[in-house]
């Protein structure tokens, strides 16, 4: 018998049985976690600890570059969503001061022929690579491919959890319109403004997010009653959370839960924090319409919208 997760905690689920054929049990546990909490820790998800550590090391090298070098590969517009995003540039909670973090976004590497053939396709964009770090590009593409392979396994589990054909979501994530985001939260150099955080309270935009983080802490998840609970790093796990498009697709069956990165206190205020998020969005032209298996308890709650239209709305409000 499956034990329902305590809504005051984030459940830890062992994914190892899923690729071995015990799909129903794992899918049921994921259903309850996504429905009740919107967050879960996934153990044995297939992410290599060696590659993750290598990516963290390379990420630290990137953010240690002089600002001028990072600005050479700066993010330019929402349609691209590639490159470096400096401190005080993004507000994940638009009602509050800008976030105390810097970031770097990259997506699937495209050939010159693909870029030339599809200049207006938002899923076909060039990455921006820092010249000062020749190892950065191959390392980040390794971690990108690593995350993408894991995502497709998780999408199959999500589909089974919602009583859909196993490849339902995989078939709608073929671009793929995925984004790997490196995050650095530098030491606090001055008193924060009222309401300012390392990352403001927000929900993610897409289908699901994978997150790995160091052990500094600060990630917090909002419960249904409004309280915030800590989501610390747990060794050998990856955090999974569902995003807005999955909430819309599932008619609210899976929750898109607000989360934030709080300001550190004491000695931790003078330290760095690093994390990596892998955002999974459907193909740009996919229409997000209430799934047929998610109308049992209420009629559709959201109007249909394409992935591209929804994400552009959210990104334009953020920057």
State how far the Cα of 246 lies from the Cα of 170, in Å rounded to an integer: 13
Crossing angle for the helix pair 136-161 and 23-36, to the nearest 10 degrees? 90
Strands 208-213 and 102-106, how do they pair?
A: unpaired
Note the pLDDT tens digit of each residue in 100-117: 999 999 999 887 787 777
Query: What per-residue confidence (pLDDT) applies to 173?
Result: 96
Between the alpha carbon of residue 85 and those of residues 89, 90, 181, 191, the distances in Å are: 7, 8, 10, 22
Q: Is the pLDDT of residue 2 over 50?
A: no
More confident residue, 15 or 79: 15
Residue 61 has pLDDT above 60, yes or no: yes
Rounded Cα distance, 248 and 273, in Å: 32
* 255 neighbors 223 (Cβ within 8 angstroms): no
pLDDT per position as a tens digit, 237-265: 999 999 999 999 999 999 999 999 999 98
Residue 216 structure tokens? 């500094």
pLDDT at 34: 97
Sheet with 228-230: strands ordered across: 199-202, 259-261, 219-222, 228-230
**In contact, 151 and 178? CB cutoff 8 Å:** yes
**Percent of the chain scored above 90 by pLDDT?**
75
Q: What is the mean pLDDT of the chain?
A: 91
Confidence band for 319, pLDDT divided at 50, 70 and 90: low
Distance CA 86, CA 183 (A): 10
pTM, two decimals, is: 0.93
- The pLDDT-based confidence of 316 (bands split at 50, 70, 90) is confident
């Amino acid at each position: 018998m499956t034990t329902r997760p305590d809504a005051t905690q984030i459940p830890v689920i062992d994914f190892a049985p899923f690729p071995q054929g015990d799909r129903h049990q794992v899918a049921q546990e994921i259903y309850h976690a996504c429905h009740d909490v919107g967050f879960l820790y996934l153990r044995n998800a297939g992410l290599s600890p060696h590659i993750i550590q290598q990516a963290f090391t390379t990420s630290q090298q990137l953010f240690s570059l002089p600002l001028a070098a990072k600005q050479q590969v700066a993010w330019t517009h929402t349609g691209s969503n590639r490159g470096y995003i400096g401190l005080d540039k993004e507000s994940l909670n638009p009602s509050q001061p800008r976030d105390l973090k810097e970031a770097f976004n990259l997506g699937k590497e495209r050939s010159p022929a693909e870029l030339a053939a599809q200049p207006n396709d938002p899923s076909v964009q060039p990455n921006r690579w820092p010249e000062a770090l020749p190892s950065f590009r191959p390392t980040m593409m390794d971690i990108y491919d690593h995350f993408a392979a894991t995502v497709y396994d998780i999408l199959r589990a999500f589909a089974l959890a919602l009583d859909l054909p196993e490849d339902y979501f995989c078939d709608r994530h073929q671009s793929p319109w995925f984004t790997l985001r490196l995050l650095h939260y530098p030491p606090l150099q001055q008193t924060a403004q009222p309401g300012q955080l390392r990352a403001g309270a927000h929900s993610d935009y897409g289908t699901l997010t994978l997150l790995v983080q160091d052990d500094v802490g600060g990630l917090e998840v909002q419960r249904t009653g409004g309280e915030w609970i800590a989501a610390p790093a747990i060794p050998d796990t990856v955090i999974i959370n569902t995003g807005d498009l999955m909430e819309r697709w599932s008619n609210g069956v899976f929750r898109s839960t607000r989360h934030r990165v709080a300001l550190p206190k004491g000695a931790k205020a003078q330290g760095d924090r690093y994390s990596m998020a892998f955002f999974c969005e459907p193909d740009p032209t996919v229409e997000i319409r209430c799934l047929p298996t998610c109308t049992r308890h209420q009629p559709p709650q959201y109007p249909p919208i394409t992935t591209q239209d929804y994400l552009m709305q959210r990104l334009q409000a953020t920057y």
